[in-house]
Amino acid sequence: MKNKLLQKNSKLSELFRSREASLLLVMILLCALIQWRSNGAFLSNIVITQLTQNYAYTAVLAFGMLLVLLIGGIDISIGAILALSGMTGSLLMRDGFLPNATSVYAVSIAVGLLCGLVIGLIVAKGKVIPIIATLGMQYIFRGLTYAISDTKWVSSDQMLASYKNFAQGSFLGINNLFWIVIIVFIAMIVFLRWTSFGRQIYAAGSNPEAVKISGINLDRVKIIVYSINGAIAGLAGAMYTSMYATAQGNMASGAEMDVIAACVIGGVSLNGGQGTPLGVLLGAITIAIISKSLSLVGIDAFWQQALKGGIILLAVLVNVLVQRRNNRKALEGREI
């Protein structure tokens, strides 16, 4: 009986030490505080619908960023890839080349995949530091977006009704865009946990030298990861334009800030090799809650950006401290 109680207590302590459980508890407390401060307006059907719809593309982008961060990279061009992909699909739809919503999504994903492939080749074969490569490509992709659109918008009346209606529709009471989040989330879990390539991604970030010795082609891993990330950004581009029923050259400017924040808050290490899809999903939901609630409680828009920056810094600090603690415990557990 005593052993069973000890095992039960051990499991409970392990649960509450996990990053996901801690973040879930923080989310619950945060929602309760905001609900109180907003006089009960936060947890209404309208606000929850807006949260699941308006921030769905951020969650999808965060899953792509998870893969990049796991291999020890980073991609600050995802907002520009989203814009180029979404604009390309919208222009082709406007000009009658794409007959339905499915084809618009397919084209956007293909454009994003191509953008990610280019970045992957630059990082893997060109040996360019990821932050420099993606910074340069960010300007290129954003410039191409303005160039192909001739700096003009694609307005709502130039888009297919089925394309716009998809973002506003729902299934089983859940917005269609959030269903995409759920599908990508499940796919990420399966991909990272139950495929050999998913394990290679974790290994590439944890110990790249050991990966090379084991015979795994590290360049191939990087190219595929950045390509997948680009395809996911292309998917987010279609989600964005269908939700707002417009395509503009400055779409999703600064989106990478929220995406990186979602990953870091969700426990993804910036050094690579550590992070889970569940943590990223919870991190993205936390960012959505914070972004939506700041205006509800009367915080000025200028201070909202400052608070987000502070949250990112705090999350990075917590990650560093947790990593140091884990490394120290690992060293203490070794026999000399």
Q: Is the pLDDT of residue 282 over 80?
A: yes
pLDDT score at 333: 58
| Cα distance between residue 264 and residue 280, in whole Å | 8
Computed over every residue of the chain, the mean pLDDT equals 86
Nearest Cα to 304, choosing from 258, 251, 252? 258
Residue 334 has pLDDT above 60, yes or no: no
Of 335, 287, 292, the closest CA to residue 311 belongs to 287
> Residues of 102-123 as b/e, b for ≥16 C-beta within 10 angstroms?
ebbbbbbbbbbbbbbbbbbbbb
121-135 tens-digit pLDDT: 999 999 999 999 999
Residue 68: both structure tokens together: 């990049």
Span 258-281, pLDDT tens digits = 899 899 888 898 888 889 999 999
Q: In this structure, are residues 112 and 81 in contact, taking their beta carbons and an 8 Å threshold? A: yes
Is residue 26 very low, low, confident or very high in pLDDT (cuts 50, 70, 90)?
A: confident
Which DSSP symbol is given to 98?
-
pLDDT of the residue at 271: 86
pTM over 0.85: yes
Q: What is residue 12's predicted lDDT score, i.e. its pLDDT? A: 45
Give me the residues paired with residue 175 across strands.
Answer: 170
Q: Which two tokens stand for residue 329?
A: 């415990």
DSSP, collapsed to helix, strand or coil, labels residue 174 as: strand
Q: What percent of the chain has pLDDT over 70?
A: 87
* CA distance linking residue 291 with residue 305, whole number of Å: 9
Tell me if residue 154 falls in helix, strand or coil.
Answer: strand
d(CA 170, CA 262): 25
Res. 154 pLDDT band, cuts 50 70 90: very high
Instruction: Note the pLDDT tens digit of each residue in 247-256.
Output: 999 999 989 9
% of the chain residues with pLDDT over 90: 58
pLDDT above 50 for 6: no
E-only strand ranges, the chain: 170-171, 174-175
Angle at 301 between CA 304 and CA 85, to 5 degrees: 85
